[in-house]
Copies of this chain bind each other. A is one copy, B any other.
Amino acid sequence: MSSPSSSTVGMPRQALQQEQIGQTAIVLLDDGGIESLSMRRLGSRLGITAAALHWHVRSRHDLLLLAADTVWGQIPLPRLEDLEWRPALLAMADNLRSMLSRHPWLLTAMTLQPLDGPCRDRHDEHLIAFCETSGLTRQDAEQAAHSIVAFALGAALATAPGRYVSFGLQSILDGVEAGLAAHR
């Protein structure tokens, strides 16, 4: 994304480097939080200077963006044919919750800048798709999906003791069901 993309065949070194940089950044972030990810520290883990790292990635912000979308990509997405919408949405919410507990720094990063990325987008679309299989219109499905993500993020932020999570989420799903009944 930062290099002018050479005319050679298949991004031979650059892409790999980029991925390795992201993985190593996540290691630093996972133990020590966002404060322990520095250009100098990450550089030395990779065997290069902080200045050299700036050749591969534009800024520390871009680094967070890269790491963030990587962990969004780690969330397993249940297949649309395998589950009914309600257990599917519960499973997706739980997968999100468990990702956030593995990578708590993501919440911090999300408050510092909007973290759009292909994997985040794919996750959102998948959630909306499941909502739609319940019979909701596209618009309502978007609202429901957004509410589920919001609740999962907020519950992680407020460090809910676990059992608290279920009440709000169940209510939202009940709300989906009620919306269905009304539209029919």
Interface residues of A in 44-100 (CB under 8 A from B): none
Asked if A158 contacts B168 (CB within 8 A), the reply is: no
Q: Given A150-B157, A153-B157, A175–B164 Cβ distance below 8 Å?
A: no
Complex interface: chain B residues within 8 A of A150 (CB): 151, 154-155, 157-158, 160, 164, 168
Chain A interface, >50% SS class: helix
Enumerate chain B residues within 8 angstroms of A158, measured Cβ to Cβ.
110, 146, 149-150, 153
In the assembled complex, A172 has its CB within 8 A of some CB on chain B: yes
Does A135 interact with chain B (Cβ within 8 Å)?
no
CA distance A170 to B179 in the complex (A): 11
**Nearest CB in chain B to that of A177: its residue:** B171
A35–B144 alpha-carbon span in the complex (Å): 34
B33 close to A157 (CB less than 8 A):
no
**Known A104-B111, A108-B111, A151-B168; 5 more pairs at CB < 8 Å:** A105-B111, A107-B111, A111-B157, A170-B175, A171-B176
Q: Can you spell out 9 A-B residue pairs with CB atoms less than 8 angstroms apart?
A: A105-B111, A107-B157, A143-B167, A146-B164, A147-B155, A152-B154, A171-B172, A171-B178, A172-B172
Which A residues lie at the B interface, using CB under 8 A? 33-35, 104-105, 107-108, 110-112, 114, 142-144, 146-155, 157-160, 163-164, 167-168, 170-172, 174-176, 178
